[in-house]
Structure 1
């Protein structure tokens, strides 16, 4: 699978290109994303491996899917992602999260493969209003914490929930947990201005 340096380079290239296409300065994008200008400079100059939270902020601010930010190449009409080509965007001692594929043609859609080792937890801030997550547990038992309330999802079980509130995925068991997740952000929640050509954004 692509190493962290290759993913960071792709993120740098894609963020810079998408920002420039919209006619935005570094300050403008940093403000939209709630990041410091210094952090954005580090991202665009490949001087840091941005966290998953930083990537989500940038994707939301630019108005594209997370998958668009980490694409190593321009997406063709049909894109097949081999198992060793999925970008790992979160890693722990015994777990990982791979972004398998995504689309932002009509709405934000992302397909993820998550692994959490025994006792591991991943906490997420709320996503954009209206965002939903759909998940299927392939192995182990998931404890899904949404707004402070736990929900148990056993092997081969599924769940859907509103992800525009704090949530966490937790493995309270003694065996690895593996789940497939889809993130869906409705088109109505996207800022239409970010899809306008750069010329229209110019004063």
Structure 2
């Protein structure tokens, strides 16, 4: 079975599982996530491959990391993710991508990402729940980080942290690829 089909089926099982654990109806989850009820039905029936933004919204609404949505039966306390099994959730034809490297539920979702943005490309994120913090470390190139309409330049070797409950965009205005590692901490659902 192709990787995308396995990912779609795992997401379907996990959304159903966590919706039941939280006691949310489809309507409640749709309202909390800002996603249509029809889209949730398609996701839970493994009939669609939703965008990264949609998966993030659902994870935020359920109070779980994307890692958990992609594999809720985590098993042992130590979980090693082999290099070839990091999940690529977004990519462009030019070669930009992000990969979810690892995640945990401690005490809320905590995720670690690997990003590559090719020159001239960007990726926009909707606001996360209040209390969400992102930490980024640029390893190559220069990141143009725009948070709530304000642009910040982050060169290679520098790190940045910000409250991610405002619209934000990761961009590469330079002429060389930009690489960074990002950690996202989302507060637990109350």
Q: Give the TM-score normalised by structure 2.
A: 0.92
| Inter-CA distance 151–24: structure 2 relative to 1 (3 Å threshold) | closer
Q: Flag the structure with larger Rg.
A: 1
Q: Which residue of 2 aligns with 1:143?
A: 144
CA deviations over 1:2-49 (Å, ceiling 9, x no partner): 832221111111111112233333233223222222111110111111
> Unmatched 5+ residue regions in structure 1?
192-203
State the SS of the aligned residue for 1:53: helix
Distance (Å, rounded) in 1 between the aligned partners of 2:34 and 2:74? 27
Matched, 1:12 2:12: yes
Matches within 5 A, 1:15-26: 15-26=15-26
Q: Deviation at 1:166?
A: 1.0
Q: CA RMSD in A?
A: 1.6
Tell me how many residue pairs correspond in the alignment: 188
Distance (Å, rounded) in 1 between the aligned partners of 2:126 and 2:150? 15
Q: Give the TM-score normalised by structure 1.
A: 0.87
Matches within 5 A, 1:125-140: 125-140=126-141
Q: Which residue of 1 aligns with 2:89?
A: 89
Q: Does the CA-based 8 Å contact 2:129-2:187 persist in structure 1? A: no
Distance (Å, rounded) in 1 between the aligned partners of 2:36 and 2:152? 36
| Inter-CA distance 75–137: structure 2 relative to 1 (3 Å threshold) | farther
Q: Deviation at 1:72?
A: 7.3
Q: Which residue of 2 aligns with 1:64?
A: 64
Q: Does the CA-based 8 Å contact 2:140-2:177 persist in structure 1? A: yes
